[in-house]
Amino acid sequence: MALTFAHIKDTPIGQISLFAGDHGLQGVAFKNLTRVKEDLSFLDDGPSLHGLETLGTLLVEINAYLFGIQRVFSVDIDWDIIDGFQREVLAITAEIPYGKVVTYGEIAQELGKPGAARAVGSALSHNPMPIVIPCHRVIGADRVLRGYIGGEDIKAFLLRLEGHTITGSPLMVR
């Protein structure tokens, strides 16, 4: 499997590692690149040219996003690495516009599975491409921030960046 990797050491939310292959982006992680490669049990097959192009674009776009300049990502996502219910959830999540929030229950409703809010939350907790697939835009029905793969502080930062007011304990979108 040919993959290309990138790492941004200094962002307002800490380090971010990225990897992409021949079919587009495969991962965004809030940890160092060595740990990402260990988690993947990566065997170096050499870089992916399309992955290199994807990451070149994403490095510019993610930095611009984190400083409030970019609102939409243009990179290809490798949907083949995601299956079943999670893919359905992430496909809906990928369409949530900048600055908008939806609830876990609303996504479950859109899937035709009312009552599956917890399952939606579980699927989002394993989002391999946070920020690009904007699971930070999904909140509880009570407007409380529920977990985030990068932690609640990062979720709150991203929502503030997109114009939301976050207050209280527990953190809530106002």
User: How many domains does one find in the chain?
Assistant: 2
Read off the amino acid at residue 55.
Answer: L
CB 104 within 8 A of CB 119: no
Whether 153 is in a domain gets the answer yes
| Domain containing residue 113 | 83-173
Query: Same structural domain for residues 98 and 136?
Result: yes
**Which of the residues 66, 77, 120, 135 is marked catalytic?**
135
Categorize the per-residue pLDDT at 43 as very low, low, confident or very high, splitting at 50, 70 and 90: low
Question: Tens digits of per-residue pLDDT, 6-30?
Answer: 999 999 999 999 999 999 999 999 9
Share of the chain above pLDDT 70, in %: 97
9 annotated active-site: no
* CB neighbour class for 56 (10 Å; exposed up to 12, middle 13-18, buried from 19): middle
41 domain-assigned: yes
pTM score, whole prediction = 0.95
> 38 in a domain, yes or no?
yes
- Is residue 54 domain-shared with residue 87, that is, in the same domain? no
**Residue 172 confidence (pLDDT) above 90:** no
Q: In whole angstroms, give the CA distance from residue 69 to residue 141.
A: 29
- Residue 28, strand partner residues: 18
